Structure 1
Amino acid sequence: MPLKKGWLFIVSIFLLAATAVLLFYPYRYILALQDPFTDEILAYLPVNDTDHFQIKFTHSVHLSDVIEEYEINQETIYPYQLIYEDTAIGMPSNAGEGETFEMKDGKYYISNLQGSLSEINLAVGQVRANHKIIYQNQSYLLKDYVGAGTSITITPTHESNWHLLKGVNIHER
């Protein structure tokens, strides 16, 4: 009988340890939408390394769509492409060094964008902007998840399931 109690104790310890790892180890890779002042995760989107996502919004002056495309890799954001319709106020009229500028179907494309970011700071539009994150052909209107007029920081990061219980999984809503 003592042998059974020993095995039961070992199995219980193993299950407890496995549960603790699943709950508290930061293995979930997400795109976190955080409050920039408190770092609280307001909402998140489960992603994979080397995935692409887009931020789409309506330009406040031109009232036309702008699409910024990014790639995430090892918790770093790499601008990938910019697509827009007007080169006037607030939009580039040409590409930078090493970048490609072209016009297709009435839209301007700047690709091979240079540089990297650890985060994107964004004020979610209140009136016209309609900021959206587009990921795997699904569009998520940010004001539905964090509220219009909210300042957010978009960051790729690893988090634990415990920490994610506090945020809203955009993909499941």
Structure 2
Amino acid sequence: MKKFILAGVFILVATAIFVPFQERLSVVCLSKKAKTMYVKLPKDREFSIEYTHSIHLSEVKEFYKIPGNGSEITQYALLYEDTSIGMPSDAEEDEVFSRTKDGKYLISNMDRSFPYIDLQIGRVVANHRIEIGKSEYELSEFFGKGEFVRFQWKRTSLFAQWKGVTVDGKR
């Protein structure tokens, strides 16, 4: 009887550790072997990616959320300072193009969904950052400048999170 109880406890513990049941935004380095960054998002499941535009040297902020079904990442807004090279000068379809009180450009009402987002962390100027709630993390601190990373929403196990780096936006 004790063997069955021990086996049951072992199975429960192994399941809790190795079965992917927690949803996290994972940031994986595609260009070298590095620890995966697991991001615990707030209840609204929103985050932003911020960077300095390499040509204009002005700040750009892309706003994302994970919709209820959790299968994709949806961009819902874009905030930036210049409409010249590399930046939109108008909105598409149902999107709304406007100016903020401080003179920045805002495209809102965006509904652009992606299974994942790939980006290269800037080597010189960009200083790519991820903002979760009131916390901000420089991606180059986790992966290095010039590395290619992939943002993807997925289920992950406690074991995978222990092997990686977990951030929760409470910095």
TM over 0.5: yes
- Provide the C-alpha distance between the structure 2 equivalents of 1:118 and 1:18, rounded to a whole number of angstroms: 32
2:109 maps to 112
2:147 maps to 150
Q: Calculate percent identity across the aligned residue pairs.
A: 35
Per-residue deviation at 1:95? 0.4
Q: Cα deviations across residues 44-76 of structure 1 (Å, max 9, x unaligned)?
A: 212367511000000001111000000113131
1:67 paired with 2:61, answer yes
| Pairing partner for 1:87 from 83, 89, 92 | 83
2:77–2:107: 8 Å Cα contact kept in structure 1?
yes
What is the number of residues matched between the two proteins? Answer: 167
| Pairing partner for 2:126 from 126, 129, 134 | 129
2:46–2:66: 8 Å Cα contact kept in structure 1?
yes
| CA shift in 2, pair 1:143/1:40, >3 Å | closer
Q: Cα deviations across residues 103-152 of structure 1 (Å, max 9, x unaligned)?
A: 01211110111321010010001111010000011000000011111001
One-letter identity of the residue aligned with 2:45? D
1:32–1:41: 8 Å Cα contact kept in structure 2?
no
- Provide the C-alpha distance between the structure 2 equivalents of 1:49 and 1:18, rounded to a whole number of angstroms: 27
Using CA pairs below 8 Å that are at least 6 residues apart, which structure has the higher relative contact order? 2
**Where in structure 1 do 4 or more consecutive aligned residues deviate above 4 Å?**
37-41
1:124–1:142: 8 Å Cα contact kept in structure 2?
yes
Residue segments in structure 2 that go unaligned for 5+ positions in a row: none
| Pairing partner for 2:18 from 21, 24, 32 | 24
Query: RMSD between aligned alpha carbons?
Result: 2.1
Q: TM-score, normalised by structure 2?
A: 0.89
